[in-house]
Structure 1
Amino acid sequence: MTKRGYHHGNLRQALVEAALALIEEKGPQGFTLSEAAKAADVTPAAVYRHFAGKDDLMAEVARQGYDIFAALMEFAYNNGQPTALAAFEATGRAYLAFARRYPGHYMAMFEAGLSLNAHPDLAMVAAKARGVLERAAETLSQHIPPEKRPPASMFSAHIWAMSHGVVELFARGNPGSKSPYPPEDLLEAGIGIYLRGLGLLPADR
């Protein structure tokens, strides 16, 4: 029987889609390149025409994920205006939405153990995604006196870590059912506490 992969025209993307399904089923470390080839209905040898190995395939999955992620963050930031605070909070909600809507990409990006230095294309699009949050942090932090203002990269990294923690603990898989509050509410409250500590929100009365 002739393998379908030689005829469907875009074997590279077919392998990415096969990898995404396997990641969602087994996790990024739970399958082999041969399994990805079988899921795409091609021989293992055919995979090497497009990818040097499993890490290379995983890096392409992650790259496409970061590309979607950056677009969602950019959209959230632009549509969260007119205030810097609203735009900043919108990017946090976009993080949660991405993790739910694209679990395979999310796991490839954050759980596959890929080295960004080994994959320049992946590093470039990951920096683009981080740049949206850094820009939001930089705009919002203009309200802080210069001598008390944290670097935008630190500011955004704190919010990124908070968003990631809420996703990992309460928004994905079985752990998500253990939260007494919606993940969006947890993140919004956490961001509020952080921003209040920086003097960007008024104290509770």
Structure 2
Amino acid sequence: MAPPDRGRGYHHGNLRQVLLDAARKLIEQHGPLGFSLAEAARLAGVSPAAPYRHFRDRDALLSEVARTGFERFAAQLEIAWDNGRPTPLQAFENLGRAYLTFARKEPAAYAVMFQTVGENGKELEDIPAADAAFNILQKATAELCKNLPAGERPPLRLVSLHIWALAHGVATLLSEARGEHKKLPVSPEEVLESGLLIYLKGLGVLGEGSPGGTA
């Protein structure tokens, strides 16, 4: 008797999605480069030749995991930013939390998105959704900095890169700490929020007289 997934994959045209789901499971278990296309086929319940209907090799499958991951990532960041509501600062904090939530809930996609795209010969600039995600961060940064005097306004792209690096560092620390069963003294969200507030305060973005200030 054929495995159930095989019938669904061939008869309902969802083989591509079944293989993506299988790849994410294997990535969680073995890392982005720790499995073969044949293993993904086996987990999906299809023949070793079936994946080649959609993917020329494992790297092509990983690239699709990255592309679809960035699409979900950008969509979640956009929802979190919500055009700067209720306030730009609160929305910015929501953006940071959404970043960490995605990394926590989709560790396989996140790992491929940031660890292997270059090795697969596909830079982030070649993935439109990656650019869209960064543009959301730039849009949020511009909103936070818009009230600074023109002569004191920092380069928005550079600031956005700094903030992205901070969020990525906390997300990576979260992943490593979970894997080693370490207990952090504070939550990753608190680490990121305090880091962002210190950084924004240094830029002069935050108002005086409040821990969070006003943007």
CA shift in 2, pair 1:159/1:116, >3 Å: farther
Contact 2:41 2:47 in 1 (8 A): yes
> Aligned residue for 2:213?
none
> Aligned residue for 2:62?
58
Which runs of structure 2 are paired with 1:33-44 in the superposition (5 Å)? 33-44=37-48
> Aligned residue for 2:195?
190
CA distance in 1, matches of 2:185, 2:2: 53
Q: Tell me how many residue pairs correspond in the alignment.
A: 205
Which runs of structure 2 are paired with 1:6-155 in the superposition (5 Å)? 6-78=10-82, 81-114=85-118, 118=122, 123-155=127-159
Letter in 1 for 2:141: A
For the residue of structure 2 that corresponds to 1:143, the secondary structure is coil
Deviates more, 1:85-94 or 1:191-200: 85-94
Task: Give CA-to-partner distance per residue, 1:118-146, whole Å, 9 cap, x none.
Answer: 37996111101111111000111112222
CA deviation after TM superposition for structure 1 residue 79, in Å = 7.0
CA deviation after TM superposition for structure 1 residue 39, in Å = 0.9
Deviates more, 1:116-125 or 1:97-106: 116-125
Q: CA RMSD in A?
A: 2.4
Contact 1:170 1:177 in 2 (8 A): no
- Over the matched positions of the two proteins, sequence identity in percent amounts to 48
CA deviation after TM superposition for structure 1 residue 202, in Å = 3.9
CA deviation after TM superposition for structure 1 residue 174, in Å = 2.7
CA distance in 2, matches of 1:30, 1:24: 10
Contact 2:117 2:123 in 1 (8 A): no
CA distance in 2, matches of 1:192, 1:65: 28
CA deviation after TM superposition for structure 1 residue 54, in Å = 0.9
1:179 aligns with 2:162: no
CA distance in 2, matches of 1:85, 1:13: 37
CA distance in 1, matches of 2:159, 2:181: 26
Letter in 1 for 2:193: E
Contact 2:32 2:112 in 1 (8 A): yes
CA distance in 2, matches of 1:191, 1:136: 13
CA shift in 2, pair 1:7/1:33, >3 Å: same
TM-score (ref. length: structure 1) = 0.90
CA distance in 2, matches of 1:32, 1:182: 35
CA deviation after TM superposition for structure 1 residue 176, in Å = 6.8
Unaligned runs of 5+ in 1: none
